[in-house]
Amino acid sequence: MSLDTRKILIAPSILSADLANLSADLKQVETADYVHFDVMDGHFVPNLTFGPGMLAAVKAATDVPVDAHLMISNPDEMVPAYLEAGADIVTFHLEATNHANRVAAMIREHGAKAGVAINPATPVIMLEDIIDYVDLVLVMSVNPGFGGQKFIPTSLKKLRQVKHMCSDHRVSPLIEVDGGVSEKNAEKICHAGANVLVAGSAVFHADDRAKAIAAIRAAGESANQLKA
């Protein structure tokens, strides 16, 4: 799996896919870098989605690496099940555990990439003592639970803060953003520091999913050209 932080990686969220035809929808997003798999427990967030059995089925249906986003109250207990199911990246919420280092270490020991997520109201400073131990930081740009919400603009400031924290610590985890991402705002999101863009409705509500992925990627990469 690539950890090239200069590339813009696209992760379509299957939350917005046609779940009764998921295998066909997965084929239409084969040009993506990750399949974003949203796990919601009806407790950490007010919605319920997929479990480890579904993740194993997705793994069997696609060669695209799976990025599991655990919006659950008990990552300490449930992470092993998602690792066993074959997740390539497992991202847990910092707000959901008192033992973030232990959870991150458990993920890495299994050979997967460890990601830590923060909700819109969680300040970036909370990442200070975990950032050295993860492969990915996920900045939520909506309050998690549902697809199709509006991007919260203060997320851009948070992305810049994460980027600064990474350079202070001399680490370069992937910086992922999730919620309300589209071709229209991808450039400014990447300019602020993100290099993994999750997109649910912007990909799966498009007629041509491959074209939507390419358009979001191109918009994100144009921010890299601004920097160069």
Instruction: Name residues contacting Zn ion, limited to 55-84 (CB under 5 A).
Output: 69
Q: Is 178 a catalytic residue?
A: yes
Q: Which of 25, 67, 135, 178 is catalytic?
A: 178
**Residue from 59, 69, 158, 163 binding ligand DX5 (CB under 6 A):** 69
Count of residues touching Zn ion (by CB under 5 A): 3
CB of 202 to ligand DX5, least distance (A): 6
CB of 69 to Zn ion, least distance (A): 4
Q: Which of 38, 67, 88, 135 is catalytic?
A: 38
Q: 214 Cβ partners below 8 Å, 6+ apart?
A: 31
Q: Which range in 86-94, 95-103, 166-174, 194-202 contacts ligand DX5 by CB under 6 A? A: 194-202
Q: Which residue is nearest to ligand DX5 (CB)?
A: 200
CB of 146 to ligand DX5, least distance (A): 6
Count of residues touching ligand DX5 (by CB under 6 A): 22
The answer to whether residues 212 and 10 touch, using CB atoms and an 8 Å cutoff, is no
CB of 34 to Zn ion, least distance (A): 11
Q: Which residue is nearest to Zn ion (CB)?
A: 69
Instruction: Name residues contacting ligand DX5, limited to 130-189 (CB under 6 A).
Output: 142, 144-149, 178-181
Burial 108-119 (b: 16+ CB within 10 A, else e): eeeebbbbbbbb
Look up residue 38 and give its amino acid: D
Instruction: Name residues contacting ligand DX5, limited to 195-224 (CB under 6 A).
Output: 198-202
Cβ atoms < 10 Å from Cβ of 228? 5
Nearer to Zn ion, 143 or 222 (CB): 143
Chain residues in the site for Zn ion (CB under 5 A)? 38, 69, 178
Chain residues in the site for ligand DX5 (CB under 6 A)? 13, 15-16, 36, 38, 69, 142, 144-149, 178-181, 198-202
Just list the catalytic residues.
38, 178
